[in-house]
Amino acid sequence: MTPSGLCIIGSGYSAAALLLHLEARGAKMDGVTVIGPQALGTGQAFGCVNDDFRLNVRAELMQVWPDDPGHFANWAATNIAGDREADTDVGAFYRRRDFASYIASEIRARPALASLPHIKASAVNISASGDGWDIELDDGSTTGASRIVLATGNPPPVWPFREQIADTPSLVRVPWLGDWPENIDGGARIVVIGSGLTALDAIHTLRHRQHHGRITLVAPDGMLPPVQTGWRDADALEWPQDVRASGFLKFMRDTVGDIPWEDTEWQRRFESLRYHISAAWQRLDAADQGRLMRRFGWLWSLARFRAGPQAFGSAQMLLDTGQLDIVTDMVTGITTTSDGVHEVGLATGARFSADAVINCSGAGRDPLITRILDNGTAARHQTVRHRPAMTSELALIRAD
C-alpha cells in the first residue's frame, strides 16, 4: 500500500480542531485523509440528537481558537435562536448539537477542509508497511498513510460487569447520543448506573419528558458531580519541574486547599491547575503515573467534571420530590424475566426490578488501541498495561 500522507483516524472534535489549526497555520492539505464513521466534528459528545443534552461548560470556555476565546459564544449569540433554556446565572450553556453546528460552519468556511477526503468507516487495525502504515477498515478495505493521528476519542461504554448483555430499547448501553428516551414509557421504573455527567443528562431529559416513574441511580460513591459556578480569571499555574507522585499530589492539594469543590474559588484554582497538567503528567515516570491512577484516578474523574446548571437542577428537583433515589452500591449483573422486567443485581446482594436500565458508567476500551497493543504495533504503558506508552509530545512508541 502506498502511503498517502497524513491520515487522521477519528472524526470527532479533536480531528476537526487539529484540521482547523493546521489550515490556520497554512499547512498543505493535499494528502490529508480523515477516517471515521460520523460527520467531522461531531463524535460521541457533539453528535447527539437530544436537545436536552447540553454542554457542561459555559459558552466562552468552549474554545477552538485560544486567541479569540469568545468565538463560539459570539457565533452562538448570532446563530442560535429560540433556546430559552441556554442562559443561566453563571453563563450560557448551549445544546451539544449546537456546538457541532458551530464546528461544521468553521469547516465549511474553509474550502481546503470542506473538500478533504473522508472515509466513512472505522479503522480496525494498523500495521507497519515500508516507511508508512497500513490501516485496515471495518468495510474490509485497506488504506495507507505515511503518518497517522489517532483521534478516536471516547470509546463507547460497555456494561460495568463481566457478563455483557444484548442492547435492547430498554437496556441502553450507550446513552451518549440521546436517541433512547422515546423508547421508554413515561411510568417506567428506571435504574441509572453511574452518577456522573451522563447520568445527569439522562435525568434531565427524563424530567423534561415528564417522566413519572421511579428513578434509582446506583453508583459506588453515591455522589453527584458539583454544579458549575461562575468562576473567572483562572490563570495558568506553572507546575514544578522535577517531582515524583507525592510532589505532584502535594502541588494539587496546596493549590486547591481545604475549600469545598462546590465553591467558586475551588473551581477557579482547579482550572488554573488544568492548563499545564498534561505536560506535568507526562513528565512523571510510568511507575508514578500508575501509582497515582490506582490511588486517585476515581477522585480525578469526579473532580474534573462539573455539571451544567440545567442538568444539575433537574437532579436536585427530582431528589427533592423523592422521585429520584441515589443508592451507594455497584451493579454486578442484569437478568431479564420472561415478562421483560430487568432484575438489577448489586454487590451488596440487593436487587432492583426495573423496566429500563441506562448505563452511564463511562467510556469503554478503545478496540483499535487494544488491537495495536496486542499485535505489537505500539508499546504498552509500563504500569497501566491497557494504555499505550507515549512520548512527552503524545506520540505513540513503536513496540520494536
- Classify residue 108 by its DSSP letter: H
**Chosen residue from 13, 94, 266, 270 binding ligand FAD by CB under 6 A:** 13
Residues 6 or more apart whose Cβ sits within 8 Å of residue 292:
245, 248, 249, 284
CA dist., res. 379 & res. 360, Å (int) = 30
Asked if 368 interacts with ligand FAD (CB under 6 A), we say yes
Work out how close the CB of 200 gets to ligand FAD at its nearest, in angstroms, rounded to a whole number: 11
Cell 479503522 sits at which residue?
123
Q: Report how far residue 247's alpha carbon sits from residue 368's, in angstroms, rounded to the nearest whole number.
A: 34
Query: How many residues form the binding site for ligand FAD (CB under 6 A)?
Result: 28
- Binding ligand FAD (rule: CB under 6 A), the pick from 38, 255, 328, 383 is 38
What does the DSSP assignment read for 27-48?
---TT-EEE-SS-TTTHHHH--
Kindly list the distances between the CA atom of residue 82 and the CA atoms of 94, 209, 238, 310, 350, in Å, as whole numbers in the listed order: 11, 19, 42, 16, 45
User: Is 151 an interacting residue with respect to ligand FAD (CB under 6 A)?
Assistant: yes
How far is it, in rounded angstroms, from Cα 64 to Cα 72? 8
The nearer residue to ligand FAD, 174 or 317, going by C-beta atoms, is 174
For 48-189, strand residue ranges (E) read 87-88, 91-92, 118-119, 123-129, 132-137, 142-145, 147-150, 171-172
Nearest distance from residue 235's CB to ligand FAD, in Å? Answer: 20
Q: Does 37 bind ligand FAD (CB under 6 A)?
A: yes
> Which of 11, 267, 272, 361 forms a contact with ligand FAD (CB under 6 A)?
11
Site string for ligand FAD, 88-107 (x = CB under 6 A): --------x-----------
Residue 63 CB, shortest distance to ligand FAD, in Å, is 9
CB of 162 to ligand FAD, least distance (A): 23
Contact call for residue 50 and ligand FAD (CB under 6 A): no
DSSP string, 250-317: HHHHHHHTT--TTSHHHHHHHHHHHTTHHHHHHHS-HHHHHHHHHHHHHHHHHHT--B-HHHHHHHHH
- Of 119, 116, 98, 96, give the one whose Cα is nearest residue 107: 116
Report in angstroms how near the CB of residue 159 gets to ligand FAD at its nearest.
17
Q: Which stretch binds ligand FAD (CB under 6 A): 147-155, 242-250, 262-270, 290-298?
A: 147-155
**Could you report how far apart the first and last alpha carbons of the chain are, in Å?**
21
Tell me how far, at minimum, the Cβ of 264 lies from ligand FAD, in Å.
19
Q: Which of 4, 129, 154, 216 lies at the binding interface for ligand FAD (CB under 6 A)?
A: 154
Q: Which lies closer to ligand FAD via its Cβ, residue 69 or residue 153?
A: 153
Distance CA 371, CA 391 (A): 20
Using the rule CB under 6 A, is 148 a contact of ligand FAD?
no
The window from 52-60, 210-218, 253-261, 391-399 that contacts ligand FAD (CB under 6 A) reads 52-60
Interface residue with ligand FAD among 6, 7, 36, 171 (CB under 6 A) is 36
Answer yes or no whether residue 125 interacts with ligand FAD by CB under 6 A: no
Contacts with ligand FAD, residue ranges (CB under 6 A): 9-15, 35-38, 43-45, 55-57, 62, 96, 122-123, 151-154, 176, 198, 368
